[in-house]
Amino acid sequence: MVNLIPQDTKIDFVGFRKITLTISGLIVLGSILLMLIKGLNFGIDFRGGFLIEIRTEKEADLNTMRSTLSGLGLGDVKLQNTDSPHDVMIRLEQQPGGDAAQGVALKKVKEALGEGVTYRRIDSVGPTFSEDLAYNGMIAFTLALLAMLIYIWLRFEWQFGLCAVIALLHDGLSVFGFYSFSGFEFNETVIIAVLTTIGYSINDTVVVYDRIRENLRKYKKASQTEIINRSINETLSRTVLTSGSTLLALIALYWVGGTVIENFTLPIIVGVGIGTYSSICLASILLLFFDVRTAVESSAPENTSGDKVVV
């Protein structure tokens, strides 16, 4: 058999903690600065407006079409091809003046595009829906973190839960930072991408935490540093291979899925990569700041004689 990852790796992850913690800090700081300075490319899901999908008889000339629509005085107008050079997606921002203004803007667009255009889809998103979507997205993200904190607290100890949530915040901010850096449209799929990322990340983290707890009870004389290093190395093969197989599927979706789903799959690819990194180099390393050995040993089950059971 071929072992892509050796079973007896002895990488000193704890020894690299200054480097990895610095990298994580820079990722979080960079993501926050990007969102503050560059901002996010909010789509009509959050800003409100129109999403118009058209099909042209001839191959669409995006430059000419963009110049024509930009001259209408309707604000930010974005165009992109989809799966065919004849199919164009037009995004038009919310117009001030209520429903009447939206109707006038849509009429101007249709007159500017002229004949030979088939309108396949026209979606309108109001500002109230946009505010509700943003609010519900924040609530979903917060509740997901809270639920994971409680779950890990109950399954392990509160120190594990706190470190896991810090790592998940790192992962979520990294995905937001990627959206800001790449300029991808920030729409409702972002909520799915972020929740998928933290869900995948916590799965890897729990596996490593379970091994840390087991080794803390098993190796009484080993230091906490040695235990964390041993546990990460023992689960490294599983973590890398699981993440690798997931990334292969996501890369295939990104490669053959076209522009329709690339803005969704690429951030998840980045998120899975960041989540794998954080479960190895952040969530576990943060446990060094707590006395988890005492907490784990005090919660060990007792046998009938009243002694702690070492598993």
Confidence at residue 22, expressed as pLDDT on a 0 to 100 scale: 93
pLDDT class for 306, splitting at 50, 70, 90? very low
In the chain, CATH 3.30.70.3400 sits at: 49-125
Give how far Cα 95 sits from Cα of 30, 91, 236, Å: 33, 12, 52
Between residues 283 and 191, the one the model is more confident about: 283
Confidence at residue 305, expressed as pLDDT on a 0 to 100 scale: 40
- Tokens read off for 189: 């799929």
Query: 259-294 pLDDT, tens per residue?
Result: 667 777 888 898 889 988 998 888 889 988 888 777
In the chain, CATH 1.20.1640.10 sits at: 14-41+130-298
Q: Which DSSP string do the residues of 208-249 spell out, in sequence order? A: HHHHHHHHHHH-SSS-HHHHHHHHHHHHHHHHHHHHHHHHHH
55: which strand partners? 87, 118
186: which strand partners? 42
Whole-number Å distance between alpha carbons of 88 and 132: 28
Q: Nearest CA to 276 among 246, 254, 307?
A: 246
77: which strand partners? 92
Confidence at residue 299, expressed as pLDDT on a 0 to 100 scale: 63
What does pTM read for this prediction? 0.73
To the nearest whole number, what is the mean pLDDT of the chain?
Answer: 80
Q: Out of 3.30.70.1090, 3.30.70.3400, 1.20.1740.10, 3.40.190.10, select the CATH number for domain 49-125.
A: 3.30.70.3400
CATH architecture of 14-41+130-298: Up-down Bundle (1.20)
Query: 114-124 pLDDT, tens per residue?
Result: 777 888 887 77
Secondary structure of residue 32 in the 3-state scheme: helix
